[in-house]
Chains A and B, each alone.
Chain A
Amino acid sequence: MTNSWTDIKNTDLVVIMGGNAAEAHPCGFKWVTEAKANRGARLIVVDPRFTRSASVADFYAPIRQGTDIAFLLGVIRYCMEHDRIQWEYVKAFTNASYLVKEGFGYHDGLFTGYDEEKRDYDRSSWDYQIGDDGYVMVDDTLQNPRCVWNLLKEHVAVYTPEMVERICGTPKDKFLKVAEMISECSSPQKTMTSMYALGWTQHSKGSQNIRAMAMLQLLLGNIGVRGGGMNALRGHSNIQGLTDIGLMSNLIPGYLTIPTEREASFDTYMSTRGFKPLRPDQMSYWQNYRKFFVSFQKAMWNTAATPENAFAYDWLPKLDVPAYDVLRIFELMHEGKVNGYICQGFNPLLSAPNRGKITEALSKLKYLVVMDPLQTETARFWQNHGAYNDVDSAAINTEVIELPTTCFAEDEGSLTNSGRWLQWHWPGGTPPGEARPDNWIMAQLHLRLKRLYREEGGPVPEPILNLDWRYKNPDEPTSEELAKELNGWVVSDVVDPADPTKVTLAKGKQVASFAALRDDGSTACGCWIYSGCFTEAGNQMARRDTSDPDDTGTFPKWSWSWPVNRRILYNRASADLSGKPWDESRKLLWWDGAKWTGYDVPDIAPTAKPGVVMPFIMNPEGTARLFTRGMMRDGPFPAHYEPFESPVANVIAPRVRGNPAARVFKADMAQFGDSAEFPYAATSYRLTEHFHFWTKHVQVNAVLQPEFFVEIGEALANEKGIKPGSTVRVWSKRGSVTAKAVVTKRIKPLVCDGKTVHVIGVPLHWGFMGAARKGFGPNSLTPFVGDANIETPEFKAFLVNMELVSGPVA
């Protein structure tokens, strides 16, 4: 989230698209209710199903899953055509006026530079024109045909209301009503918030779904303001934190990146991370990259990371592929190239797509380790559970080790919520049986590996032997000790260059924020964006002061939010070029003549002059990008692509299947189904009583929604002779499930490009462990393909067939 849950009360218009907050985030959704009740805010829901969110919306429009980009570009087109643009914001704070290289273009659904064989682009033409002064060339009049504004206008021209209806199945009048309501928020005194979740991310073009809305929000001037923003609702309690801390193949904490093997030395690595400003006087904050990186290396290896060994640069692995994401690793496992897999939580047998393939892959492992507070299906993938896990145990030679862990109620530490608040919690109960905290387990594994390398030797033991381990009890580091490392500390005294007798940073002290970090090895910091969470003033994440000056919804002293306790990102954009708030009744930050002041921590240098330094300080442009250069694999603008399994062809580019830049492994391509064989458009979703697979283990929730079902509309039910409660079989090219049919008015057929499309809903919860009845999940059916940029699997749009089954469920 750029904003926070409590800030939603400040909005005028909530758009829920790609999510279902009333169902999946009920206690956060109350802030939508607050905005409606107290401000007269309105709620729009755009979804294939008439969801619980839709049931309390002011306006609902149906859409076929996987066509959100066409819809959103249609709204952008509408706003441009009707001059519903926050012009001052767009001209000053975005790259609308920047000139793009002559070579860049978009034809027949493809951007320039496409290589069909590699399913990838040469992105060199997707860039700005650079002038003799080294800065991007701009045309403030927006007349130049090569400026971003005009290229965008041309790009969205095809998405007329008629085209939106043809692609999305959204009736033209409903689309126009939504577009009109959204466009009103171009007024500087009106804001709109976007609330989305996996309904946007779980597509082969998920990142571009979000980009499309972010662009719309920029055109309306809704980023950085109260009641605005791009608000990813996030799923799990600390998935924001796990991502911030970079537990991903290609990340280092704080969104730094792991080197590739083309970056043989630290100097080569840094050579592409200079972040030279692209416009005069801009901050381009990533210019501090080296400070964050060196401080990270010091947090890993402390005294063993020295200037002489390039701060232990070689002890980091170097990647040969963009990432070993979960899809790639299961592909490699399936090819027999992986020996061991360790799951700390997570339940990939039910969470990863194409379950049949996952079972085969796990069966090829030598060893599987599962650390979990609950008995997961993954840890028991080798057990036969009849139709629900039909395997031959004797034929599976994987050694499986299950380690019992504590759960939330028995451990201590911080969790980062959607709004980037790091909230500390305390243990209240004794763990059951022999369950142990993850901190103890990870420490034990490390200490054992260290002992084995000391005793036996082995290749490159240094990064293990030298890992910084100054914990009071080496067997179990405490959460406070670890939080202090995340915050950062002073490794050696730093003196004032003007007066060497004056120590500015004293050895052993916690740093106050990342502004204190240095690139000479005198500071250490586990995760620079978390710097400030545990300072000399104590644990900021444990703060419980509920004060909220002037009821802005900021709650500046409740817990701590990254970065530097900032509650709304890009908040400098809440004021105009001169530093005056766009909306006095909703002011957040303003220029008082000498410095920035207001309700939030300024997202800009406190004395940076308005009109000179632009608000998007992390970008070398200083502005936000409507055109994103070569930073995304599948295009600098979003474009409509069908899901890989779609009931209709791409009407804009009939030759293109799916997202042309999405990675597809060879065998998986052959497992995509066509609409002739699989006529129904399926999607996955979750019920308010359930949380993924965890609530299967909870008696109350297992009872509330007891049995696996699929949801179908009345028209399809009539066509197939299916009655409410009938047993049906649903199958895709990859697998088959049996379920009760819930026949509903909530799903209605859509007409797309002249063809009637029936949508089928497949809820996610059931498996073969826990208190709930055994059942299936969507991953028995879904395709093994992910988003082109970050490989989130395409769970929200796939094709199935369905038939009525007589007789009892297997």
Chain B
Amino acid sequence: MTMELSRRLFLKGAGAGVAGSALGAFGFADAEAANAAAIRPFKLTGTTETRNTCTYCSVACGIILYSKGDVRNGEKADIVHIEGDADHPTNRGTLCPKGAALLDMVHSKTRTLHPQIRKPGASAFERVSWEQALDRVARLMKDDRDRNLVVKNNDGVTVNRWATTGFLAASATTNETAWLTYKVVRSTGIVAFDNQARV
């Protein structure tokens, strides 16, 4: 992505220059300083801007994520603000009541945080490591495929069909994830493969 000088950075620089010259010229340094001290610093100062797309409907409004820290430089980045992208041809900066509250989605209290397993009959999840969770899923898949892959049908036609495990893909993952998912799922012979297009 080309991170051209953003409007915000430009305005911030220009604003500082204007304020500096005004203070010097009119001699209101004390009053201005008192006033400035009472004003909360602009919350987007020093944030990293990232272009993104609203995750909800298919209008695909352009949005800008503002974060403390730059995740693409390997830093920990905390998103502190999200707003509509005024450059975007479709939404021209506007967002609907869902898009306007996207920040709360990112920081929802009910985000999933750790892999968990609920054992048969149990009344609660147990936290497990990624290794444990992934090993377990792969084991369950392999065992089921080994037992139930239909290699040939009754007429002797090679069908390589695995119908006892299904995969339901989503609707908000990227095209690239979709393609990787397609590769991984199809290579196993899973036929119960569907997505959320219908609902």
Interface size bracket, A side? 35 or more
> In the complex, are the beta carbons of B125 and A340 less than 8 A apart?
no
Nearest opposing residue in chain A for B148, CB measure = A339
A482-B188 contact, Cβ under 8 Å, with A400-B117, A430-B76, A690-B98: no
A795-B199 contact, Cβ under 8 Å, with A438-B177, A701-B101: yes
A439: which of B69, B139, B176 is its contact (CB, 8 Å)? B176
Residues of B in contact (CB 8 Å), total: 125
Whether a CB of chain B sits under 8 angstroms from the CB of A460 is: yes
Bound Cα distance A464, B149 (Å):
13
> In the complex, are the beta carbons of B182 and A247 less than 8 A apart?
yes
Q: Which 10 A-B pairs have the closest CB atoms?
A: A345-B170, A413-B174, A433-B113, A428-B65, A236-B171, A417-B60, A428-B50, A404-B112, A448-B138, A234-B58
> In the complex, are the beta carbons of B133 and A401 less than 8 A apart?
yes
Interface residues of B in 148-188 (CB under 8 A from A): 148-149, 151, 153, 155, 157-188
Whether a CB of chain B sits under 8 angstroms from the CB of A127 is: no
Chain B residues whose C-beta falls within 8 Å of the C-beta of A411 in the assembled complex: 174, 177
Nearest chain B CB to A440 CB, angstrom units:
9
> In the complex, are the beta carbons of B187 and A239 less than 8 A apart?
no
Bound Cα distance A407, B136 (Å):
24
> In the complex, are the beta carbons of B114 and A394 less than 8 A apart?
no
Whether a CB of chain B sits under 8 angstroms from the CB of A612 is: no
Nearest chain B CB to A526 CB, angstrom units:
5
> In the complex, are the beta carbons of B77 and A366 less than 8 A apart?
no
Nearest opposing residue in chain A for B129, CB measure = A434
Nearest chain B CB to A11 CB, angstrom units:
16
B108: which of A530, A697, A790 is its contact (CB, 8 Å)? A697
Bound Cα distance A689, B94 (Å):
15
A401: which of B104, B117, B146, B153 is its contact (CB, 8 Å)? B117
Nearest chain A CB to B158 CB, angstrom units:
5
> In the complex, are the beta carbons of B195 and A242 less than 8 A apart?
yes
> In the complex, are the beta carbons of B178 and A241 less than 8 A apart?
yes
Interface residues of B in 102-144 (CB under 8 A from A): 102, 104-123, 125, 130, 133-142, 144
> In the complex, are the beta carbons of A433 and B114 less than 8 A apart?
yes
Nearest opposing residue in chain B for A426, CB measure = B50
A464-B188 contact, Cβ under 8 Å, with A400-B118, A486-B175: yes
Nearest chain A CB to B172 CB, angstrom units:
5
Interface residues of A in 309-361 (CB under 8 A from B): 314-320, 324-326, 328-329, 332-333, 337-346, 348, 351-352
Interface centre among B56, B89, B166, B175 (most CB of A within 10 A): B175
Bound Cα distance A319, B191 (Å):
7
Nearest opposing residue in chain A for B104, CB measure = A698
A458: which of B51, B109, B145 is its contact (CB, 8 Å)? B145
> In the complex, are the beta carbons of A248 and B197 less than 8 A apart?
yes
> In the complex, are the beta carbons of B189 and A317 less than 8 A apart?
yes
Chain B residues whose C-beta falls within 8 Å of the C-beta of A463 in the assembled complex: 160, 186-189
Chain B residues whose C-beta falls within 8 Å of the C-beta of A423 in the assembled complex: 53, 60, 62
B50-78 vs A, Cβ < 8 Å mask (1 yes, 0 no): 11111111111110011101011000111
Interface centre among B141, B148, B151 (most CB of A within 10 A): B141
B79-92 vs A, Cβ < 8 Å mask (1 yes, 0 no): 10010100101111
B194: which of A233, A326, A418, A443 is its contact (CB, 8 Å)? A326
Whether a CB of chain B sits under 8 angstroms from the CB of A397 is: yes
Give 25 CB contacts A-B under 8 Å. Answer: A26-B96, A30-B92, A242-B178, A317-B162, A317-B190, A320-B159, A338-B166, A344-B181, A394-B121, A404-B115, A409-B102, A418-B59, A423-B60, A428-B77, A437-B177, A452-B139, A453-B142, A458-B146, A482-B180, A689-B97, A689-B98, A691-B57, A691-B98, A700-B104, A701-B101
Bound Cα distance A393, B94 (Å):
45
Which residues of B does A touch, CB under 8 Å?
Answer: 1-2, 48, 50-62, 65-67, 69, 71-72, 76-79, 82, 84, 87, 89-92, 94-102, 104-123, 125, 130, 133-142, 144-146, 148-149, 151, 153, 155, 157-199
Bound Cα distance A485, B177 (Å):
12
Nearest chain A CB to B55 CB, angstrom units:
4
Nearest opposing residue in chain A for B53, CB measure = A425
Chain A residues whose C-beta falls within 8 Å of the C-beta of B165 in the assembled complex: 338-342
Nearest opposing residue in chain B for A396, CB measure = B121
Nearest chain A CB to B96 CB, angstrom units:
4
A694-B105 contact, Cβ under 8 Å, with A237-B56, A249-B194, A434-B114: yes
Chain A residues whose C-beta falls within 8 Å of the C-beta of B187 in the assembled complex: 300, 315, 446, 463-464, 467
A413-B175 contact, Cβ under 8 Å, with A235-B58, A433-B114: yes
A340-B141 contact, Cβ under 8 Å, with A317-B190, A318-B161, A433-B111: yes
Chain B residues whose C-beta falls within 8 Å of the C-beta of A317 in the assembled complex: 159-162, 186, 189-191
A460-B181 contact, Cβ under 8 Å, with A483-B176, A544-B87: no
Whether a CB of chain B sits under 8 angstroms from the CB of A5 is: yes
> In the complex, are the beta carbons of A436 and B130 less than 8 A apart?
yes
Bound Cα distance A700, B118 (Å):
31
Interface residues of A in 408-459 (CB under 8 A from B): 408-418, 421-423, 425-430, 432-439, 441-446, 448-449, 452-453, 456, 458-459
Chain A residues whose C-beta falls within 8 Å of the C-beta of B133 in the assembled complex: 401, 403
A788-804 vs B, Cβ < 8 Å mask (1 yes, 0 no): 00111101000000000
> In the complex, are the beta carbons of A688 and B97 less than 8 A apart?
yes
A398-B120 contact, Cβ under 8 Å, with A27-B99, A261-B157, A366-B140: yes
